[in-house]
Structure 1
Amino acid sequence: MPVVIATFVLVGLLCALNLVLTVGVIKRLREHTDLLAERGGGRLSLAPGDQVGEFSSRTVEGEPVDHRVIDTETVVAFFSPTCGPCKEKLPKFVEYARTVPGGRDRVLAAVAADRDDAAAAEPMVSALAPVARVLAGEDAEQLAEACKVQGFPVILKVNRSTDGRLLVMTDQVDVDRPAVASV
């Protein structure tokens, strides 16, 4: 009989400990939800309809790229060599970029890497170069600032509005399906 009582007491204590830990986790999740809400609802970049800021950069090949050269729908992607999801999404994005109407002239890819990560960024840059105009280092940072990128990966479609402003058309690009021209 004492063994049964001890077992019930032990199970009761474990249940109480589990309840305390669960309440603690719920409290932390609420704090994180509030923090994300303060940062703009957890957005990683500009939302559809937001205006892209000004930028002036050069591709890794030395071609000048700035906010004025984008005159039609363009896919703009942001990757980082230290980002696990970026490494997973990169092959799908490369396949998607191959199908973009207008080819690599309508695809910009920014590989954000510090000087210390430049060597780690090279495989990404090499994979993206055949299908996109690629920006790296400080040039990628300028584009990321213009699009208010706060995390990776981010893939946007941008285009000119009727009044000439460069706007985000969508931040939900499905890279699992071939690209199609907007009507």
Structure 2
Amino acid sequence: MALLTVAVVLVAALGLLNLVLLLGVVRRLREHTDLLNDRQSAPPEVMLEVGSIPGDFVSTTVDGRVFTRADIPPMTLVAFLSPSCDHCEEQIPALLDRAAGMPGGAEHVWVVVVGKGEATQPYADRFAAVATVFVEPGTGALPLAFGVKGFPAFGLLDQRGIVASTAFGIARLDLPVAR
């Protein structure tokens, strides 16, 4: 009989230990869920942080004009796209629409097509009417100056050439309205 009592007490103790450990795991899972939700609600970092100044660069447009950081006009929309990026392709109609309505016209919209090979030129030609277009490799001067971390990447530079807004999708970018 004493053996049976010891066995029942041991099983009860193991059950309580299991319950305490399970409650600890559930609490920890809730903490992880909160952390993941906070991280997913924050927009992905696609380029320099808001308030940053792009690095120095020298880059040539598809039509042969040379630009440096000092040549960036005030209130400029900058877009970094890649022909190999499916999400970039989805953003093109909205980008063309927003670029057409950008105050200052094509001089205030810079589209940087990032890639190598034959696919870059036809891709760049799509933006010729509404933007100043550059074609550069991923290690080119403009992607490095703007700290591009992924594609597509959109940014707006303010009157002083400081990054005022960045976004992964053009619809999320705060752009000025043409008057």
Q: Fold conserved (TM > 0.5)?
A: yes
The offset of 1:178, in angstroms, is: 7.8
Alignment root-mean-square deviation, CA: 2.9
| Alpha-carbon spacing, 1:99–1:121, altered in 2? closer, same or farther (3 Å) | same
Separation in 2, partners of 1:177, 1:145? 23
The offset of 1:159, in angstroms, is: 2.6
Q: Secondary structure at the match of 2:162?
A: strand
- Report what 2:24 is aligned to: none
- Report what 2:144 is aligned to: 145
- Report what 1:61 is aligned to: 63
- Report what 2:45 is aligned to: 43
Q: Secondary structure at the match of 1:87?
A: helix
Residue identity over aligned pairs, in percent, reads: 29
- Report what 1:81 is aligned to: 83
Which residues of structure 1 form unaligned runs of 5+?
A: 1-25
Q: How many residues align?
A: 140
Give, as a single letter, the amino acid of the residue that structure 2 aligns with 1:54. Answer: D
Checking the alignment, whether the CA contact within 8 Å between 1:57 and 1:142 is kept in structure 2 is yes
Is 2:163 aligned against 1:168? Answer: yes
Separation in 1, partners of 2:140, 2:79? 12
Instruction: Map 1:102-117; keep pairs closer than 5 Å.
Output: 102-114=104-116
Is 2:123 aligned against 1:127? Answer: no
Separation in 2, partners of 1:177, 1:90? 17
Give, as a single letter, the amino acid of the residue that structure 1 aligns with 2:50. Answer: P
- Report what 1:180 is aligned to: 177
Checking the alignment, whether the CA contact within 8 Å between 2:61 and 2:132 is kept in structure 1 is yes
Checking the alignment, whether the CA contact within 8 Å between 1:97 and 1:179 is kept in structure 2 is no
TM-score, with length taken from structure 2:
0.68
Separation in 2, partners of 1:68, 1:112? 22
Return 64-73 or 144-153, whichever deviates more: 64-73
Checking the alignment, whether the CA contact within 8 Å between 1:73 and 1:157 is kept in structure 2 is yes
Give, as a single letter, the amino acid of the residue that structure 2 aligns with 1:105. Answer: E
Give, as a single letter, the amino acid of the residue that structure 2 aligns with 1:101. Answer: P
Give, as a single letter, the amino acid of the residue that structure 2 aligns with 1:94. Answer: L
TM-score, with length taken from structure 1:
0.67
Which residues of structure 2 form unaligned runs of 5+?
A: 1-28
Separation in 2, partners of 1:176, 1:53? 21
Runs (4+) off by over 2 Å: 137-141, 172-179
Is 2:150 aligned against 1:156? Answer: no
